[in-house]
Structure 1
Amino acid sequence: MNTDTFAFDFGPSFAKTPSAAEAEVIIVCEHAANWIPPSLDALGLDDAARDSHIAWDPGALGVARKLAELLNGPLVEGCISRLVYDLNRPPESPTAIPPASEIFDVPGNRDLSDAARAQRVEAVYEPFRAALAEEIATRESALRLMVTVHSFTPVYNGETRAVELGLLHGRDDRFAKAMLAHQPEGLAWDVRLNEPYSASDGVAHTLDVHGCDNGLLNVMLEIRNDLIATPAQQDAWATALAPWIRATLEDAAV
């Protein structure tokens, strides 16, 4: 396996679903796909590992697409596995191209040269970063909020997670805390702030660089992936989240 040379079959690292120019909310799904370019020889992983949560966020894209539809906002999604390059990490982060994830080693990411790392940044991260930046810039006057959609595994390193929805923030905690305060009456979900991850885990890159640095309110939604395993579940979650997000955004205190 040769993963230390440039792979010209990477293909696009992002896809965009447009919306009206006056959209107030932009939706982002960095870990939407588990596709690994053929030239990387599956990074040395078997089918089970490539289909598991280490390679992508199962269910997140379905929620993100429905949210974008319901909120009349654009969607920017990643098209390449986060094991090739994690689009929610800056190039200098050691976890941008992880040599291991949870209980899995990733052979194709071990001992990469600086040149090989730079090539993945150029092929995957930079086009995605530029596309998201451009989408935000063209909507500067109307856009107010960026929502990133992720999912997490119910069991991680042998530990069961009870939380069902995490509201995460980076430098700007306003919208995450406002959503927590605006939980719809009768909501049955276990909702927690900054669980099962937080900015200290390095997950706030997109929020900070594309949200805070552009003056946008922002929040990361982390949904337990066993709850959004089917298209019907994904639609149901998005249908419940959309009015909650809209009501929070309309609150003059935010």
Structure 2
Amino acid sequence: MTTTERPLVLPGDPISPDLIPSSTSKPLRLGPGLRHVPPSDIVPVVAGQLITNHQKNSMWVEYNNNRYIPTPGDLIIAQILRSGPDLYFTSISPYTPPATLPHLSFESATKKTRPQLAPGALVYARVVLANKHMDPEIECVSQSTGKSDGLGELKGGMVFDVSLQFARRLLMAKSKEEGKVEVLELLGGEGLAFEIAVGRNGKVWVGGEDVKAIVVVGRALRETDEGGLGVEAQRKLVKRLAKGMK
């Protein structure tokens, strides 16, 4: 079991040490809704459920919010707005300032070989810097390996908007407790071929050679999200959509 209790917390509430993961092999990761107050206090900044993932040594507050707040480590889908001398300015949410993406934050990028991204291009990136005093910064390469690790420009395909909560569930689909979203596996089982990139900022990119399949995947995601569908309802939805393609 990866997650345990889900106590309700309010902004400023003290968090019991018993609820804080204590792995010695991984650094503690704080997600949305929590703030570290030196030297050792962890304080919620929003009201919601405190979620603890001992396997990943992480914790966050789950709350209903339509505004994405950038958090270091988040995987997001960003759109290029314009290019400066050394970096791109990108849009990650209607409610956040433009995020910067250095030209050399790509695998094997140099001043001569860096990607030439036009306004409107999409990238799958990771948030590396986010605080209230500076604009967010994102990257398309792992700082530890120098590899893209699946990040970079997203070519073709379509982008679909989903709720922030649903995006988080998609990103945590391997967790037994959080993995109640099976719609993507069910679509693959029906023979649909597609690629997908999920952004914590409520964006899902779907790519593939068959435009009809892309639309079906996007529709399935939206209906599952908006309808709050359980596993059985997801199966019925996929069967109906797959039948409509034939």
**TM-score, normalising length: structure 1:** 0.29
Instruction: Name the structure where helix makes up a greater proportion of residues.
Output: 1
Instruction: Name the structure where strand makes up a greater proportion of residues.
Output: 2
Higher relative contact order (CA 8 A, sep 6+): 1
